[in-house]
A and B are shown apart, each in its own frame.
Chain A
Amino acid sequence: MEKQKKRFEDRIWDFFVSLKLGITTLILLSITSIVGTLLKQGQSKGEYVQENFARMFPDGFPPKMTQLDYDKLREGFESTYRFFDSMYFFDMYHSWWFLGLLGLFAMNLICCSINRLPRVLKIVREPELKPEEKFYKTLANRDELIVTGSIAEVETKVAGFVASEFAKPQRTEEGDKVHLFAQKAPYARFGVYATHLSILIILAGAMIGIKFGYKGFVWIAEGSSISQVSSREGRGMIPLEFTVQCDKFELEYYEGSRMPKEYRSDLVVFENGKEILKKRIVVNDPLTYKGITFYQSSYRPIGGGVHRLLVTPRDGAAFEVEAKEGAPVSLPNGGSFAVGAYNDNLRNFGPGITMHVNSPDGKRGNPFPVYKYHPGADAQIRKGAFAFDLIDSDLEYATGLQVAKDPGVEVVWVGCTLMIIGTMVAFFLSHRRIWVTLVPDGGKVKVLYGGNAHRNQPGFALYFDEFKSKIKKYLS
């Protein structure tokens, strides 16, 4: 009974430490990840059906199609959706089975490392200090010399040579023999473990972020402030411990183009009525306070901007006026005009405003558009008593900020750094060892020596050949 149980545990352990499982999970993760890139994540049934219809009939439904055909097809799409949905394909990366696969991967990594680490530690901590001749026979790189002189003389020479040529050796006496052992970069053996550990650290960081962080969004109108943000994960409003105010939002275009060059928001953080922090944020340069980061993400014009207009009376000199949105501005003939709304791309003619003119007797005229980049258009098209051109707009904006709290992100960066160092060490460094044993041999000294490397064997073989020819020359 006891034996049976142990065997079962052993079997479980063997399963978790096997590299076969590791490679299988890597390949399974690759294949399943593809699913999530083919199906749009977070799609609803309606969107899915519509997308499939669009793909099937890019030029619209064929005229011969009956309602029955249509219903059948839709039912087909809907049942595929239900099937995919039951497999969590539309929220794949959070599904129990994908996370389970990642868990298995992590488990495998942990067990495999636990299984192998003690052996590696032993190699590094307890190197063979008293190698016998038998031991030298197991080394692929080895040689033997007979040198004249006493053990002590030869030892000084050899130790000096090994120290200058390779690394300072460690000396062990055994009877009348003397052993020297020198090594380089023993830590290279841990590159693999650092790499594996780094994966676990990154996963832990991601978990901390999911558990203790959130993603949110907030609009702040210029001149106003907020103290809560709305969750992007359906958790409603999230209160902040402080207030964020937007002093100003600015949008800069590339010269002579409609392409945005920079979005800037001047933000101020207040806590308990005191100003704490001030920062101008742009895309790629966010503001962080108390672990909560605000990213410039979007903007929208809101009412209340001030526009500079060029007004040209039909017979008279043109003049400039400033008009605040919604507020009437008098005209020389006793009438007035008012600017309604601004639009960034009014009727596809670029930035423009909609405005109307009130006649001197107070009758409200029809609204008409005035564009920034089409001067003279109003004079030509509308032919009113006054022609208007838009010179410039000082718009009121609301800035749209992505908000994120992620206490795990530093952990993730630690993991990433460790991973890069770890892979470099694992791939490009090698633990190299050289042993020398001096044996008295009838008035002379037999010098046995050899070495090995834990990777890049061919490179070490070349090195050892050179070492051999140098030591021969040195000792003779």
Chain B
Amino acid sequence: MDGSQLLSTQILNYVTIIYFVAMVCFVVYLAVRNETVALTAKVLIWVGFVAQTFALGYRWYESYQMPGGVGHAPLSNLYESVIFFAWTIILIYIALDLKYKQSAIGAFVIPFAFLAIAWAQLQLPSSISPLVPALQSNWLTYHVITCFLGYAAFAVACGVSIMYLIKARDEEKNKDDSSGIVGMFPSSKILDDINYKAIMIGFPLLTLGIVTGAAWANYAWGTYWSWDPKETWSLIVWFIYAAFLHARFTRGWAGKRAAWLSIIGFMATIFCYLGVNLVLSGLHSYGG
């Protein structure tokens, strides 16, 4: 079945546009410093998020409407996982915004969500396909949800780290000149703190993701760990963030080094998510 006919896919097209406009608003906000623009962006994010949540739920419903008992949670192929990834980034962003109320962050976090959803909508086949037997497991659902919430927290940490590096360089150069785009950034201290908090949220989620993945593997083929490239890369990502946390609270690695480690960690995360499927091969090859 052609996935572009599905109502959920069509809603997601609008969501993509909404996120794009919100992203542009955030960038414009940095330039013109008009709070109304920032508010518009945030309202759009909320609208997009509600619409995307509905679309995800509706796609789930649609899968049960298809002939042949195909129904399943919309987390089973690359398209669905990328859409879900965008959703989790927005979710974490909204939580962050409610807590910190720093509008400038949107300009560095929303692009990740936009790129993900745009890629899915433009490039990936959106049809609902039946699940092969190995993927019919509740553990898989828990696994995907926890992993992607973790990934999204790392994406936020990465976006904030990029802001940190820009802000820190600016602060070094001209001490209290708060003009220009960088002037709208939160202080480097706040950015550093958000980076740490986001990783602190992402790390237990990734841990849960790895554990539920191991549980699934154990139910499906009797080995909770087989060193396949996907598993190994998730462990690498886990090691990197563990190193980040330890370097931070016992060796005082904050600021620039922490920001770089966070960016490296997210690059490893993206490789674990996409690179392994595109470059390496293994059990997890989503969708083919």
Q: Which range holds the interface residue count of chain A?
A: 35 or more
* A419 contacts the other chain (CB 8 A): yes
* B288 contacts the other chain (CB 8 A): no
Pair A419/B207 contact, Cβ less than 8 Å: yes
Pair A19/B246 contact, Cβ less than 8 Å: yes
Which residues of B lie under 8 Å from residue A403 when comparing CB positions?
Answer: 222
Q: How does the 8 Å CB contact mask read for A1-25 relative to B, with 1 for contact and 0 for none?
A: 0000000000000000001101100
* A34 contacts the other chain (CB 8 A): yes
Which residues of B lie under 8 Å from residue A256 when comparing CB positions?
Answer: 67-68
A33-B236 contact, Cβ under 8 Å, with A26-B242, A416-B214: yes
> Which listed residue (B67, B133, B214) contacts A282, Cβ 8 A?
B133
Pair A23/B132 contact, Cβ less than 8 Å: no
Which residues of B lie under 8 Å from residue A293 when comparing CB positions?
Answer: 222
Which residues of B lie under 8 Å from residue A404 when comparing CB positions?
Answer: 222-223
Separation of A286 and B218 alpha carbons in the complex (Å): 10
Residues of B contacting A: mostly: helix
A423-B203 contact, Cβ under 8 Å, with A27-B239, A36-B232: yes
Which residues of A lie under 8 Å from residue B223 when comparing CB positions?
Answer: 215, 404, 406
Which residues of B lie under 8 Å from residue A257 when comparing CB positions?
Answer: 68, 130
Pair B224/A412 contact, Cβ less than 8 Å: yes
* A347 contacts the other chain (CB 8 A): no
Which residues of B lie under 8 Å from residue A412 when comparing CB positions?
Answer: 214, 224
* B54 contacts the other chain (CB 8 A): no
B122 to chain A, nearest CB (A): 26
Pair A26/B221 contact, Cβ less than 8 Å: no
A414 to chain B, nearest CB (A): 12
* B124 contacts the other chain (CB 8 A): no
Which residues of A lie under 8 Å from residue B233 when comparing CB positions?
Answer: 37
- In the complex formed, the residue of A with least CB distance to B235 is A33
Pair B133/A283 contact, Cβ less than 8 Å: yes
Which residues of B lie under 8 Å from residue A30 when comparing CB positions?
Answer: 236, 239-240, 243
A window 13-60: CB within 8 A of B: 19-20, 22-23, 26-27, 29-30, 33-34, 36-38, 41
Which residues of B lie under 8 Å from residue A270 when comparing CB positions?
Answer: none
Q: How does the 8 Å CB contact mask read for A364-377 relative to B, with 1 for contact and 0 for none?
A: 00000000000000
* A71 contacts the other chain (CB 8 A): no
* A164 contacts the other chain (CB 8 A): no
Pair B221/A295 contact, Cβ less than 8 Å: yes
B window 215-253: CB within 8 A of A: 215-216, 218-225, 227, 229, 232-233, 235-236, 239-240, 242-243, 246-247, 250-251
Q: Number of B residues contacting the other chain (C-beta, 8 Å)?
A: 45
Pair B211/A420 contact, Cβ less than 8 Å: yes
Separation of A275 and B131 alpha carbons in the complex (Å): 34
Which residues of B lie under 8 Å from residue A23 when comparing CB positions?
Answer: 243, 246-247, 251
* B276 contacts the other chain (CB 8 A): yes
* B200 contacts the other chain (CB 8 A): yes
Pair A283/B220 contact, Cβ less than 8 Å: yes
* A285 contacts the other chain (CB 8 A): yes
A283-B239 contact, Cβ under 8 Å, with A23-B247, A254-B68: no
Pair A93/B137 contact, Cβ less than 8 Å: no
A145 to chain B, nearest CB (A): 32
Which residues of B lie under 8 Å from residue A144 when comparing CB positions?
Answer: none
* B70 contacts the other chain (CB 8 A): yes
Pair B130/A427 contact, Cβ less than 8 Å: no
B window 190-219: CB within 8 A of A: 200, 203-204, 207-208, 211, 214-216, 218-219
Pair B229/A37 contact, Cβ less than 8 Å: yes
Pair A37/B276 contact, Cβ less than 8 Å: yes
Separation of A282 and B219 alpha carbons in the complex (Å): 10
Pair A402/B224 contact, Cβ less than 8 Å: no
Separation of A440 and B218 alpha carbons in the complex (Å): 67
* B69 contacts the other chain (CB 8 A): yes
> Which listed residue (A26, A37, A206, A259) contacts B225, Cβ 8 A?
A206
* B32 contacts the other chain (CB 8 A): no
A19-B250 contact, Cβ under 8 Å, with A30-B240, A37-B229, A255-B67: yes
Which residues of B lie under 8 Å from residue A93 when comparing CB positions?
Answer: 227
- In the complex formed, the residue of A with least CB distance to B210 is A416
Which residues of B lie under 8 Å from residue A379 when comparing CB positions?
Answer: none
Separation of A427 and B202 alpha carbons in the complex (Å): 11
- In the complex formed, the residue of B with least CB distance to A199 is B242
A-B contact pairs, 15 of them (CB 8 A): A26-B243, A27-B243, A33-B239, A34-B232, A255-B68, A256-B68, A257-B130, A259-B130, A282-B133, A295-B222, A406-B222, A420-B204, A423-B204, A424-B204, A427-B200
